[in-house]
Amino acid sequence: MTAASSTGQGNGVRLGVVLLATPLLLWLLVLVILPHVDLLLVSLRERIAFRQYEFSFANYIAFFVEPLYWNTYVRTAVMSIMATVLTLIIGFPVSYYIAKIMRGRGKNVLFMMCLIPFWVSELVRTFGWMILLRESGVISSFLQWAGLVDGPVEMLYNDVTIMVGLVYTSMLFMVVPLVSVLDSLDDSLIEAGYDLGGNAFTVTRDIVIPHAMPGIASGCIVVFMLTLGNYLTPNLLGGKDSLWFTEQIYTQFITRFNWESGSAFGFLLLVLSSLIVWIGLKLSRQTLADTVR
């Protein structure tokens, strides 16, 4: 290859890179980076007259001064952490069963059965829980039929119900990474653990869980993030008193038309979510790029 043609090709390659990069840069700049910068700017201003604004921390101060906002924020974070832990505790044995105990065809079928419900819209899944749990619902009727209760029982609109719904909605995002990481655990390591005198508890603690750590981390991060940003499940299953932070954001934006305050809330939620994701990645010594592989 001559020098001329190689520089010619170099230019062609460089032009190709620029062409390929254009949609990416447009997408990220116009739809992701600039809107979030603008969100931050709007959250840092205060309306003093019609279309007149000045820089101020008033929206953030209002958040810390008003106990309702602050409590909702903490409550959303705490309940999201609880939902993440519960999803892990419930999902881990099932993932282990699919990855290590089932063999061949049954294993694939069981895994697919875990996946299929989650292709159905979250709205439909939540609707299902409403039919099961409402006062005139399936479980209430069953309890009356069985003679366990005297009248209809309302099981919607409380925190336990929100938790049931959140765990249900998040389960897939825990089971998939756990199954794939447990699949890669060699059976002979578990056998060796037993040969060396371990029992089910010590083998799980010293061999299975350390091996599954990357899967546990990525599952927990995704579940936490999705739960924190969830709107449908707390709103439909928790009713008026669900006090979820995304509902506060919606109220500020759509109902009260206070975009400045809504932007501040949005930014605070984004900070919380990013912070927890970052801590999770640091603790498990992973990067975001590893998590999606």
Partner 1 sequence: MIPSIPQPRFYKGLYTAYVAVFFVYLAAPLIVVGVFAFNDSQFPSMPWNGATLKWFFGDTRPAIGIFNDRQLLRSIGTSGFVAIWVTALAVFVGTCNAFLFERTHFPGKNLLYVVALSPLVIPGVILGISILVFSNAIANNVEETFGWDLAFLRPGLFLVIIGQFAFVTTITTLVISARLRKFDFSLEEAALNLGATRAAAIRTITIPFLKPALIGASIIAFLMSFENFNTTLMLVGSDAPLTITMFDRLKQGSTPALNALSLMLMVVSGALALLAVFAQRGGQGDKT
Q: How far is the CB of 37 from partner 1 (least distance, A)?
A: 8
Please identify, among the stretches 59-67, 81-89, 155-163, 249-257, the one whose residues bind partner 1 according to the rule CB under 8 A: 249-257
Q: What span, in angstroms and rounded, lies between the C-alpha atoms of 236 and 96?
A: 32
Give, as ranges, the residues between 125 and 164 that touch partner 1 (CB under 8 A).
125-132, 134, 136-138, 140-141
Q: Does 279 bind partner 1 (CB under 8 A)?
A: no
Q: What span, in angstroms and rounded, lies between the C-alpha atoms of 17 and 193?
A: 52
Q: How far is the CB of 175 from partner 1 (least distance, A)?
A: 10
Q: What secondary structure letter does DSSP report for 252?
A: I
Q: Nearer to partner 1 by C-beta: 68 or 271? A: 271
Out of 219, 234, 238, 262, the only residue in the binding site for partner 1 (CB under 8 A) is: 262
Q: Does 33 bind partner 1 (CB under 8 A)?
A: yes
N-terminal to C-terminal alpha carbon distance within the chain: 38
Q: What are phi and psi of 170, to 5 degrees?
A: -90, -10
Q: What are phi and psi of 54, to 5 degrees?
A: -140, 160
Residue 143 CB: number of other CB atoms within 10 A? 16
Please identify, among the stretches 59-67, 81-89, 210-218, 223-231, the one whose residues bind partner 1 according to the rule CB under 8 A: 223-231
Q: Does 270 bind partner 1 (CB under 8 A)?
A: yes
Q: How far is the CB of 101 from partner 1 (least distance, A)?
A: 6
Is the CA virtual torsion 111, 116, 117, 118 positive or negative?
positive
Please identify, among the stretches 54-62, 63-71, 155-163, 252-260, the one whose residues bind partner 1 according to the rule CB under 8 A: 252-260
Q: How far is the CB of 24 from partner 1 (least distance, A)?
A: 5
The burial of 86, by beta-carbon neighbours within 10 Å (0-12 exposed, 13-18 middle, 19 or more buried), is given as middle
Out of 74, 89, 109, 116, the only residue in the binding site for partner 1 (CB under 8 A) is: 116
Q: Does 10 bind partner 1 (CB under 8 A)?
A: no
For residue 150, give the 3-state DSSP assignment.
coil
Give, as ranges, the residues between 194 and 213 that touch partner 1 (CB under 8 A).
194, 200, 203-204
Say if CB 63 and CB 69 are below 8 A apart.
yes
For residue 286, give the 3-state DSSP assignment.
coil
Q: Does 65 bind partner 1 (CB under 8 A)?
A: no
Out of 236, 238, 243, 284, the only residue in the binding site for partner 1 (CB under 8 A) is: 236
Say if CB 100 and CB 182 are below 8 A apart.
yes
